[in-house]
Structure 1
Amino acid sequence: MIKKFFKLSILLFIVSCGNDTKAEPEIIQPKKEKIIKEFGFILNNYEVKKDTIDRGDSFGLILEKNELYYPKIFNIVNEVKKVFDIRRVNVGRPYTILYSKDSIRKPEYFIYQPSSIDYLVVSLGDSIYAEKKQKEVKLVKYEASGVIKSSLSETMQELGLSPLITNELSEIYAWNIDFFRLEKGDNFKILYSSKFIDDSIYIGLNRVHNSYFEHRGKPFYAIEYETDSIRGITEYFDENGKNLRRAFLLSPVQFSRISSRYNLRRKIAYYGRVKPHYGTDFAAPVGTDIRATASGRVEKSGYTRANGYYIKIKHNATYSTQYLHMRKKGLKVGTQVKQGDKIGEVGMTGYTSGPHVCYRFWKNGKQVDPLKQKLPEAKPISEELRSKYLAYMEPIKYKLDNIDSNLNFE
């Protein structure tokens, strides 16, 4: 019995000795420093100071406050003037100064940001130079849809979408839809892109690329398509290749309402009696831009007691338009204008009871109602591009048609 116990003790000793191994020491890897890049520099290599332009600051004063002195400041200013107007440093805009990390702590670069995208780099060392650069802009595509309850702008606000989308849609459909006369139940679907810098900082809408708008039960497709790659011309066409552009815009003022129509038997409040009203009045706040509804040449520009300041544009041998009650004197006679160009501002000059532009429309020398005219259309897509366009359009139309009616990805 003692012999067996002795053997068992030896065996346990051997086993325990076999397990008595020293643990390897844990090697702790040093944490890698996160590399921070901005403005084309690795900021880890510098001591970084970020600040904003204060009231009363000048470019020279900022340099002086950051350990640079004359005559070097004078040399730096002269170099910067070659690429940037230093008088345009605006209060509140950010700037960055990069210092050396040695014991001298010498300022090496000055970086000013006049906008979210643009920035100016100034080398402050022995080799002085200045150059304008831009941050890389990343475009992200989105889909969205909505149903009109009151106005397009209010619908966009409810969906959390940029108000710039409202402006884009009003431009795209300027020849087809009066956005001040939308009806409850009208709906839209859009494909658009937004701009980002530094991977995740939103800086605004890029553009609406394609859209579907149903107004009074009628569908309006707008497909973006490049018709001239050399000149970079992009236009919008419908599902049949028909250009959305027309010879005339529906309205000379964006987001205005018609306060008075063309009416030969209208009782005019200002005069207190029945008098023909040969124009269409678009009510809008004083100062609102007035646009040329078509391209042409300014034929008349002046002032009368009744019309106030006005402009008349001759578009061709058939059509002319006139814009009354402008805020101030408009363009000079002989000025060439393009469709959509600003030609003046809404005012209250002349005989008027409120701010508006009276829009008058001539056809063959006779004033007519612009809203009842069958106006000439723009040329459709060329036959040589038509088949390419239709093939390009089909998958986009399919995508628009299948956007969820309650979708908003942004």
Structure 2
Amino acid sequence: MKYLVILLFLSVAVTSCKEDEKQEDVVITEPIIEPEPVKEFGFVLDDYVVKRDTVKNGDSFGEILERNHIGYPKIFNIAEKVRDTFDIRRLRAGQPYMLLCANDSLQTPETFIYQENSIDYVVINFKDSISAYKDKKPITIVEKEASGIVMNNLSETMENQGLPYALINDMSDIYAWTIDFFRLQKGDRFKIVYKQRFIDDSIYAGIESIDAAYFEHKNEPFYAFNFEVDSTKRISDYFDENTKSLRRTFLKAPVQFSRISSRYNLNRRIAYYGYKLRPHKGTDFAAPIGTPILATANGTVEESTRRGGNGKYVKIKHNGTYSTQYLHMKDQKVKKGQYVKQGDVIGWVGMTGNTGGPHVCYRFWKNGKQVDPFKEKLPEAESIPESLKSKYVEFIEPLKSKLDGIQFDDHNTNSTSEENIVTSNIQ
């Protein structure tokens, strides 16, 4: 009996050891996750030998392909086949391109991809047959909000909080007809609802639009809402909360972010001339040499020449009542008889003629007589058509609520809000 118990014990022990051994042999394997293929411009890059470069000065499409072992007969054939889609002579120095080559020992180029800018690109395929098409990188549009309190000037305030420079220009354009940015006061405030473009969710690609803005100047509020007035031609403009256009027939100034160094003054006396009466019939805007000068309204160039103390200048006839003149230019960009639109660059700030420093002297005629444009009641642009007013009121309601909900931080003028992805173009 004693031996039987011992045998039973040994049997159980051996079985237990075998079960332990079986358990130790069990190996749990994690599922293998294959990495996502790297794609760009719609191609799986792992399928090719990828060669990246930029167009150098003097480079041509033919020279780039010839350097990569494509013969000129084939290059000529490619150029002929794709010219309706893309003119190969339009390659610009500094722009990136990519060659997708066969993934073998010869590495023969099969596809040429040229980036016209950060968004648009051209694909030319020539592996078997020749074809070409244009496309865009996938763009994500992000809605953002910003607010600020002006401590010195608008440009400095917006730059200090890291807002894009293009946004600063767009803001000044929106209010160029209603607010004198040369006379902003400390404590003036603004709010903006705008959209930015991003490539691949991370690379900044510019301002898409400013949808709504609020500017408080001298405690007076100025709302601005971007509204499409012609859906067929996709024409939009900015209007206030009462459906009135923010535009005026004339811009307040011919240069952006400048300062008035001398105003229209018929009683001006200058010490250098023995305090004799020397009327100043223009408004001087001081700005660095090379600053673009803008046409303040639509019109036809009446003069673009150089004469005496005026130096190089442009004169524009806007209609039967108004004309404007821009003196002391470094150079003109327009010619006599050319039609220009409001905001077009017509020249650059210089020091030609009689001038003590770089500036543009802006002169304004009404019915043939020079007048002070800042004291004239100039005509306004058209407001929203009556047929669209109810649609406009409904359209701006959520935008106005969003603007009104943005808080100013009196202790921190550099405040921006959380961003919101509103739409995305999927490649």
Same-fold status (TM-score > 0.5):
yes
Q: CA–CA distance in 1 between the matches of 2:272 and 2:361?
A: 14
Q: Deviations over 1:177-213 (max 9, x none)?
A: 2223322211111111111112322222222221111
Q: CA–CA distance in 2 between the matches of 1:366 and 1:56?
A: 53
Q: CA–CA distance in 1 between the matches of 2:333 and 2:139?
A: 39
Q: 166, 169, 179: which is aligned to 1:167?
A: 169
Which residue is 2:156 aligned to?
154
Q: 388, 392, 403: which is aligned to 2:391?
A: 388
For structure 1, list consecutive stretches of 5 or more residues without a partner in the other structure.
Answer: none
Q: 334, 339, 342: which is aligned to 2:342?
A: 339
Q: Deviations over 1:310-354 (max 9, x none)?
A: 333333333222222233456444433322222232232332222
Q: 166, 180, 187: which is aligned to 1:185?
A: 187
* One-letter amino acid of the structure 2 residue matched with residue 59 of structure 1: F
* One-letter amino acid of the structure 1 residue matched with residue 278 of structure 2: K
Tell me how far 1:229 sits from its aligned partner. 0.5
* One-letter amino acid of the structure 1 residue matched with residue 355 of structure 2: T
Number of residues paired by the alignment? 410
SS at 2:209's partner residue? strand
Which residues in structure 2 correspond to 1:307-386 (within 5 Å)? 307-328=310-331, 331-386=334-389
2:332/2:346 contact within 8 Å kept: no
Tell me how far 1:162 sits from its aligned partner. 0.6
Q: CA–CA distance in 1 between the matches of 2:332 and 2:72?
A: 49
Further displaced range: 399-408 or 238-247: 399-408
Which residue is 1:89 aligned to?
91
Further displaced range: 190-199 or 294-303: 294-303
Q: Which structure ranks higher in relative contact order (CA pairs < 8 Å, sequence separation ≥ 6)? A: 2
Which residue is 1:408 aligned to?
416
Tell me how far 1:236 sits from its aligned partner. 0.5
SS at 1:68's partner residue? coil
* One-letter amino acid of the structure 2 residue matched with residue 408 of structure 1: T
Which residues in structure 2 correspond to 1:253-292 (within 5 Å)? 253-268=255-270, 271-272=273-274, 273-292=276-295
Label 1:69 to 1:25 Cα distance change in 2 as closer, same or farther (>3 A). Answer: same
Tell me how far 1:81 sits from its aligned partner. 4.4
SS at 2:214's partner residue? strand
Label 1:345 to 1:50 Cα distance change in 2 as closer, same or farther (>3 A). Answer: closer
Q: CA–CA distance in 1 between the matches of 2:104 and 2:346?
A: 59
Which residue is 1:397 aligned to?
400
Further displaced range: 177-186 or 87-96: 87-96
RMSD: 2.8
Tell me how far 1:32 sits from its aligned partner. 1.1
2:301/2:340 contact within 8 Å kept: yes
Q: Deviations over 1:74-96 (max 9, x none)?
A: 32344454443434434443222
SS at 1:71's partner residue? helix
Which residue is 2:16 aligned to?
16
Tell me how far 1:408 sits from its aligned partner. 1.4
SS at 2:155's partner residue? helix
SS at 2:251's partner residue? coil
Further displaced range: 157-166 or 283-292: 283-292
SS at 1:327's partner residue? strand
1:256/1:282 contact within 8 Å kept: yes
Q: CA–CA distance in 2 between the matches of 1:284 and 1:115?
A: 31
Q: Deviations over 1:92-129 (max 9, x none)?
A: 43222212234554321121223111222122323123
* One-letter amino acid of the structure 2 residue matched with residue 295 of structure 1: N
Tell me how far 1:253 sits from its aligned partner. 1.4
1:52/1:95 contact within 8 Å kept: yes
* One-letter amino acid of the structure 2 residue matched with residue 337 of structure 1: V
Q: CA–CA distance in 1 between the matches of 2:220 and 2:281?
A: 30
Label 1:106 to 1:295 Cα distance change in 2 as closer, same or farther (>3 A). Answer: closer
1:311/1:330 contact within 8 Å kept: no
1:311/1:324 contact within 8 Å kept: yes
Which residue is 1:144 aligned to?
146
Q: 230, 241, 250: which is aligned to 2:252?
A: 250
* One-letter amino acid of the structure 1 residue matched with residue 383 of structure 2: P
1:46/1:98 contact within 8 Å kept: yes
